[in-house]
Structure formats: structure tokens, C-alpha cells
Amino acid sequence: MITIRSALRPLKELFGYSSISDFTPLQLKVVRQAYIDKGMARKSVNDYTGVIKHCFKWGVEEALVPHTVYGALHVVSGLRKGRTEAPEGKPVTPVSEDAVEATMKFLPSQIQALIRLQLLTGARPGELIGLRPLDFDTSSELWVVKPEHHKTAHHGLARIIHFGPKAQSIVKTFMEGRPLHMPLFSPKDARKGQSDLAPSHRRPDQRPTPGPAPLTGSIFW
């Protein structure tokens, strides 16, 4: 995840005392080179450069930056593969199912359920965490959830998540006794589950965690 502060740090270091009205595409390329010199991968360099452009766009909207400055920055195109000294990032590959299963026994039941639901439904973590019983359309054999807030909502696209029999069996476990408007996955319950697992994760030779030391003497000392 790119933070605006990280992206703007080289800009501030190199041109922090210059007038924003004087910022040019060549200066943006100097900032971009600073990213490259730090060893950033090509895609990260393009993403960080895009953050700077977006900040200038915001400045135009707020009447803080001349529109001509922002317009000129668009001539700085992204770095192309094989045509830059910036290295290519390592591809992000999925974790093997064997690794996922080996990790499950160390996780509380809520986290296990969320991971299995991701595998079964293809849903994103943020789409599952806030689910409530009333969010499910159970009128057919295949349950359906239509999140109001999702990654492509601003494009006017609908998002539909399907829950088959295996996913339904997991959800039903958390629906039992849960009010319709309450989230299925509660952080409080997750912490309790983690605490319940803690004794089983201790080494055989590990000493018990000492409790707080008793208070002695005056409380004003």
C-alpha cells in the first residue's frame, strides 16, 4: 500500500523550498529518478509518481495549484518494461493450499473461517469481515451477498458474492444466536478465541506468564 507521505518525501527533500507554480515535468522526473536510485521496482516507481500527479490534481481542485502545472505533468509517461534501469518487481504468487492448511491450527476459529470463505467464494477480506445475517439472500439454493461498498462501486458496477453449500455451512455456524444486524465476525470473539488457543501454543518448558506484582506500601509512593 502506498502512503502519500512516503511518495511525497523525495519531492519535499528536493523541491520543498521551491514555488509550486514553478514545478515542471523535468523536476518530476528528478523525483522519479530518486525513487529509482532507492532501488524501487518499476511498477512502484510508476505508482509513486502517480501519487504525486494526483496530489497536484487535488491542489488544482482546491485552487492551490495552477491548472497549467498539473496539465504539464501529464507529459511524464510511466516507465516501460525493458526501457528503464528500474528493476522489475518479483511476481506475487498465491500461497499454496498446503501452507494455508498448516497455518490454520495456529489461528482462532474466526480467522480460520474467514480464510476458508475467501477460498470458497473469492471474496476480499474487507467484504467478509462486516457481513451480517441480514446481508444474505437465502431465497435460493445458492446464497447471495451484494456489498454496497466495494472496489469497483465508483464505476457503477455491481458486486455479487455467491455462497455455495460449503461456504453456507461455515456461515451458519456464526449465524446461530446472532442478531440479524450484528456482524458475524466479532473482534471481541476473535480475541477470546486467540486467548483460548494461547495455552496450547506454549512450549513444554515455557514458564507461566507472571501476573502483576502485588502492591506494597503506600499508594502515594
Domains and CATH numbers, the chain: 4-73 (no CATH), 97-197 (3.90.15)
For 127-173, the DSSP string reads: HHHT--GGG-B-SSSSEEE--SS-TTGGGT----EEE-HHHHHHHHH
Q: How many helices (H) and strands (E) does the chain have?
A: 9, 2
Helix 4-15 / helix 42-61 crossing angle, nearest 10 deg? 80
Model confidence pLDDT, tens digit, residues 18-28: 999 999 999 99
Model confidence pLDDT, tens digit, residues 128-182: 988 999 999 999 999 999 987 656 555 567 789 999 999 999 999 999 988 999 9
Helix 165-175 / helix 109-121 crossing angle, nearest 10 deg? 150
